[in-house]
Amino acid sequence: MADPSSPPGELASDPGRRDRGRREPGRRDREAVAEHRQLRYVPPPGAATLLLVRHGESAPFREDEPPPLLGGASDPELDPVGVEQAARLAERLGGEDLAAIYVTPLRRTAQTAAPLAARLGLEPRVEPDLREVFLGDWEGGLYRKHVREAHPIALRLREVGRWDVIPGAEPAAEFAGRVRAGIARIGAAHAGERVVVVVHGGVIGQALALAAGSRPLAFAWADNGSISELVVLDDLWTVRSYNDTAHL
């Protein structure tokens, strides 16, 4: 006999059909509430993504054979280790959609960029404002010597976080100003694009410190051949990664 409380055509002896269409407690409430899952980072519209690459390892300093200078700055060529690092960098980034490659006037950056530029068919562009910090009396390889020997000024440099404790070195404000200008110029030229910028350890440190509002030398020790990612949109700079050496 049909259950009077059942809809027409539904039999009381079919408990599965009787429950069909019923909602478990709270189900309707859960369906009515939107879910917001965690998302992957996406650069803001119009932002440029700069892959800041520290040049490969340069030739060692020999006290009986000072390196060549360019405008007073040390300009050694890549060591064979640095050449290998450049090749590995090209393998790592060779499949990327890159709009441009930038280097500095110092040849170790151009030599590092060369394998990647050849693979992508891009002609590197020179950004003079991103040359390495000028080390004054310690140019020509003396910086390496004095750091290795724990010179008192080298210890002071790390303590206060300023390159300009070195006699004759570039003033901190001037260095920060030109790094900011160089990065901003590249960012403005590549809205919505990804570019590689092969530079120097001091420059990477200064650029990321500007972005993070940190001590000037907090990011100054990137490894040769490493990649650090900086997203630039006008005055909004975002550090996405630092010292990535997975390809090495």
Catalytic residue positions?
Answer: 55, 132
DSSP conformational letter for 124: -
Token pair 């990321």 in the structure block, residue: 208
- For residue 143, CA distances in Å to 105, 167, 209, 216 come to 20, 11, 22, 18
- Strands 236-244, 227-233: pairing is antiparallel
- Cβ atoms of 55 and 222 within 8 Å: the answer is no
Q: Residue 185's Cα: distance from chain center in Å?
A: 16
> Cα–Cα distance between 119 and 83 in angstroms, integer?
15
